């Protein structure tokens, strides 16, 4: 468990509330670990004669928040596939768990609505199967979410893809990266149900298996490596033949005198960089930061600090999922 500059979520709110009670933090209780929160943490650490680094690890958390458990940590006990899903979902939606399951964007990329932890979308027909699975498996929950709008939603699901896209474009909110109400709120409400989160997690298992196939292909053995391969499948669709050849050639040059752990890190860095180089030129460096963050176990992506072990329970031990 580590919280530092760039961290977000309910646990940060807990820290801000505790610091505010001590009159060390005067800013908004917004769950964003910014400069004001960092300054307050340092002030507290200095007062308590702790290491003054502005980073909230176990020691500072125990001193500051007492026996309170971080409110967003229960899913750390779940299987590796779920933790990888949550990590990639946070990258995809830019919001921490559990709200990453409710990420929604409008037609910013020509794909219509992008929804959920993996940003499944209408244009690629990746979202429709999840929504159909939801109404078939949990009809009562679906009707309860959409209420009077359920008939229109059902008709939309049964329409042609062309009609679905036209409906989505009509709903696009030009001032926000989302869609107009009431549909924005209705879709978010759907995503916050346990039932649709289960549909998302079950669907994502296929993506995880593809990631595991890549691990075996490149001799990756660590949880961190599994997370990297999973993220590559979700964000980039996999690894092409040219990139594959480049990765294999680069991996043959890794110093065999290095420890097995160091060799693993070098292999992950090669895969991260080669996959980034193959991305759309517009997004190359964005992809590189994200992939190297996973390969190295921590980093800053879109202004947010990620610590895979502390925040997602994804370490360097061999994966067994």
- DSSP symbols for 44-74: HHHHTT---SS-B-HHHHHHHHTTPPPTT-G
Quickly list DSSP for 112-161. Answer: --EETTTTEETTTTSSHHHHHHHHHH-HHHHHHHHGGGHHHHHHHHHS-H
Let me know: does 15 contact 70? Beta carbons within 8 Å: no
**Model confidence at 134: pLDDT above 80:** yes
- Highest mean predicted confidence (pLDDT) among 32-46, 237-251, 296-310: 237-251
Crossing angle for the helix pair 284-296 and 260-277, to the nearest 10 degrees: 170
Pairwise CA distance, residues 34 & 320, whole Å: 36
**pTM of the entire structure?**
0.81
Give the tens place of pLDDT for each residue, 248-285. Answer: 999 999 999 999 999 999 999 999 999 999 999 999 99
**266 half-sphere exposure, CB direction, 13 A CA radius:** 15
Give the tens place of pLDDT for each residue, 172-210. Answer: 776 667 788 999 999 999 999 999 999 999 999 999 999
Q: How far is CA 3 from the centre of its chain?
A: 16
* Selected residue with higher pLDDT from 108 and 29: 29
């Amino acid at each position: 468990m580590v919280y530092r500059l760039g961290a977000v979520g309910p646990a940060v709110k807990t820290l801000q509330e505790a610091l505010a009670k001590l009159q060390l933090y005067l800013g908004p209780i917004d769950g964003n670990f910014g400069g004001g929160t960092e300054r307050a943490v340092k002030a507290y650490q200095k007062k308590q004669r702790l290491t003054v680094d502005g980073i909230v690890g176990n020691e500072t958390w125990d001193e500051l928040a007492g026996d309170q458990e971080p409110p967003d940590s229960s899913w750390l006990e779940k299987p590796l596939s779920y933790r990888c899903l949550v990590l990639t979902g946070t990258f995809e939606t830019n919001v921490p768990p559990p709200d990453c399951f409710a990420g929604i964007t409008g037609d910013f990329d020509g794909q219509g609505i992008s929804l959920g932890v993996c940003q499944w979308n209408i244009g690629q027909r990746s979202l429709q199967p999840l929504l159909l699975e939801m109404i078939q498996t949990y009809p009562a929950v679906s009707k309860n979410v959409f209420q009077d709008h359920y008939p229109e939603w059902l008709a939309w699901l049964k329409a042609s893809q062309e009609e679905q896209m036209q409906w989505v474009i009509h709903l696009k909110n030009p001032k926000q990266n989302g869609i107009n109400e009431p549909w924005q709120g209705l879709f978010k409400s759907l995503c916050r149900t346990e039932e649709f989160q289960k549909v998302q997690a079950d669907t994502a298992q296929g993506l995880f298996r593809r990631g595991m196939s890549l691990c075996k292909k490149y001799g990756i053995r660590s949880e961190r490596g599994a997370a990297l391969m999973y993220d590559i499948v979700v964000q980039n669709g996999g690894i092409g033949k040219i990139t594959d050849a480049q990765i294999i050639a680069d991996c043959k040059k890794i110093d065999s005198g290095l420890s097995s752990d160091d060799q693993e890190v070098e292999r992950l860095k090669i895969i991260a960089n080669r996959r980034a180089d193959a991305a759309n030129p517009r997004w190359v460096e964005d992809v590189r930061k994200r992939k190297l963050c996973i390969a190295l176990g921590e980093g800053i992506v879109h202004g947010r600090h990620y610590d895979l072990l502390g925040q997602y329970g994804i370490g360097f031990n061999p994966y067994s999922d």
